[in-house]
Structure 1
Amino acid sequence: MDQPGFTTSLVAGGVAGVSVDLILFPLDTVKTRLQSPQGFNQAGGFRGIYAGVPSAAIGSFPNAAAFFITYEYVKWLLHTDSSSYLSPVKHMLAASAGEVVACLIRVPSEVVKQRAQVSASSRTFHIFSNILYQEGVPGLYRGYKSTVLREIPFSLVQFPLWEALKALWSWRQDHVVDSWQSAVCGAFAGGFAAAVTTPLDVAKTRIMLAKTGSSAADGNVLSALQGVWRTQGISGLFAGVFPRMAAISLGGFIFLGAYDQTRSLLSELGRVHS
């Protein structure tokens, strides 16, 4: 098996990430406001739906690129035959490693973005400056642990399911899936993974939006989940589940489809020039 192309994974992952984050930003804003402690209307309702988009735009390319470089490299390191029963484990480990690395870039971008989404009158750079002034660099990484604890279970569901659906579709039609078929598999896998991990997403949002010095700001995921359960019950734990599922299903379609399509184009270009 050839070592994965560093440039191909970087560009394909980056293009896919930017495409998703910018196209689906309004749905992400609605989801964040539904999950915020002050409630949807007080957090801005449907006003200023693109608040925080500069942070997403800046962070999305390096974040997605870092994920896919790591994902493809770990898959290569752990190479097993595609029919092996260990194949899902390989995809789980590769996706988990990818999330740990990508979150180093994603979390600061997410902290700034989510605070802008629930405070639409504040400029993104002003929010970024305030975090650095009041909390320093650790403030930008508030919620790193909760984000990783959300992303790893999400990836453990999404990526093995995506790979398995592609393999099944490929087997049924007796040739490799097209980019649009990969995208359909990604949409289904993403929507399912989004639904089952919504409580972890709610906890992450509460931690990132908590006032400095409050107990929620400590980053304890279990404590955040218990707090939501006590005040809002099961509906609070699944706040924003439908916009989250919609965003991630569409995101999975665009993200994984764009990733496969860009990889194919770059591979074609590589063959033409070689």
Structure 2
Amino acid sequence: MDRPGFTASLVAGGVAGVSVDLILFPLDTIKTRLQSPQGFYKAGGFYGVYAGVPSTAIGSFPNAAAFFVTYEYVKWILNTDASSYLMPVTHMLAASAGEVVACLIRVPSEVVKQRAQVSASSGTFHIFSNILCQEGIQGLYRGYKSTVLREIPFSLVQFPLWESLKALWSWRQGHVVDCWQSAVCGAFAGGFAAAVTTPLDVAKTRIMLAKAGSSTASGNILSALHAVWRTQGLSGLFAGVFPRMAAISLGGFIFLGAYDQTRSFLLELGRERP
């Protein structure tokens, strides 16, 4: 991937990530509290829905930038012909690689954010310093495996579906989709992927919120899923599914639309330079 393409992907991904995370933060807080083992109202209810937003504000740009740079770079390396039946596989591999890299930045931010969301009276920096003092760096990466195991299936559904919908829409109208059309495709793909991966999101939330030293805190995603199933059944596994779908559908619209718009603008700007 040439330098203009690399820079455009990095900046566009960062802009898209910050936009969606800050706009939809209250919905994410509500979803986290619905999934919390202490229950929605004890976790804060509708109070202080911007608790933990500094952690998100700091982590959003580098997290999204890392994902899209990796995503575009892997697509470029694989260099599959657009008409090839292997194209969806390329998108799956690129998205999976992007998630593994992005989670190195996302997980510490997510751990601090989620603990702030269910303890709105504690400040973000106070929670961050407590994790470092009590659990060390390992505490910031609690739930890394469960986050990757949530994000990879999510991306395996979302990105091939997004790219396929864009290709279908482009074919039907005879030209490349506009940015708003890309955003609509992103909303549909994101909402569908969010619904089917909600149990993995519940397990990830429980692991991140668990007390240090507990069996759940060990990070075993199957054990976390079994504990939820045993105590709350199917409804527990799909706790927060509607705010998650709403947030990610809107997020897909903003995130993927903003990414395409910003990347196209930056590439066009690069071409106009002498």
**TM-score when scaled to structure 1?**
0.99
Runs of 4 or more off by more than 4 Å in structure 1?
Answer: 1-4
Structure 1 equivalent of residue 37 of structure 2: 37
Structure 2 equivalent of residue 14 of structure 1: 14
Contact 2:189 2:249 in 1 (8 A): yes
CA deviation map 1:238-269 (0-9, x unaligned): 00000000000000000000000001110111
CA distance in structure 1 between the aligned counterparts of 2:202 and 2:81, rounded to whole angstroms:
38
CA distance in structure 2 between the aligned counterparts of 1:183 and 1:23, rounded to whole angstroms:
15
Alpha-carbon shift at residue 66 of structure 1 (Å)? 0.1
Alpha-carbon shift at residue 4 of structure 1 (Å)? 7.0
Letter matched to residue 231 of structure 1: T
CA distance in structure 2 between the aligned counterparts of 1:4 and 1:29, rounded to whole angstroms:
36
Indicate whether 1:235 and 2:235 are aligned: yes
- How many pairs align? 274
CA distance in structure 1 between the aligned counterparts of 2:186 and 2:202, rounded to whole angstroms:
23
Indicate whether 1:215 and 2:215 are aligned: yes
CA distance in structure 2 between the aligned counterparts of 1:238 and 1:94, rounded to whole angstroms:
28
CA distance in structure 1 between the aligned counterparts of 2:3 and 2:164, rounded to whole angstroms:
22
Q: Secondary structure at the match of 2:177?
A: coil
Alpha-carbon shift at residue 2 of structure 1 (Å)? 6.1
Contact 2:32 2:114 in 1 (8 A): yes
Alpha-carbon shift at residue 15 of structure 1 (Å)? 0.1
CA distance in structure 2 between the aligned counterparts of 1:94 and 1:19, rounded to whole angstroms:
23
CA deviation map 1:3-39 (0-9, x unaligned): 8721111100000000000000000000000000000
Q: Secondary structure at the match of 1:43?
A: coil
Contact 1:32 1:205 in 2 (8 A): yes
Contact 2:207 2:217 in 1 (8 A): yes
Q: Secondary structure at the match of 2:83?
A: coil
CA distance in structure 2 between the aligned counterparts of 1:124 and 1:89, rounded to whole angstroms:
39
**What does residue range 12-91 of structure 1 map to in structure 2 within 5 Å?**
12-91=12-91
CA distance in structure 1 between the aligned counterparts of 2:133 and 2:6, rounded to whole angstroms:
37
Indicate whether 1:250 and 2:250 are aligned: yes
Contact 1:34 1:240 in 2 (8 A): yes
Contact 1:131 1:140 in 2 (8 A): yes
CA deviation map 1:140-166 (0-9, x unaligned): 000000000000000000000000000
Contact 2:4 2:270 in 1 (8 A): no
CA distance in structure 2 between the aligned counterparts of 1:87 and 1:43, rounded to whole angstroms:
44
CA distance in structure 2 between the aligned counterparts of 1:231 and 1:83, rounded to whole angstroms:
48
Indicate whether 1:265 and 2:265 are aligned: yes
Which deviates further from its counterpart, 262-271 or 49-58?
Answer: 262-271
Alpha-carbon shift at residue 271 of structure 1 (Å)? 1.5
**What does residue range 71-220 of structure 1 map to in structure 2 within 5 Å?**
71-220=71-220
CA deviation map 1:217-245 (0-9, x unaligned): 00000000000000000000000000000
Cα distance change of structure 1 residues 4 and 220 upon mapping to structure 2, 3 Å threshold: farther
**TM-score when scaled to structure 2?**
0.99
Question: What fraction of aligned residue pairs are identical, expressed as a percent?
Answer: 88
Contact 2:5 2:267 in 1 (8 A): no
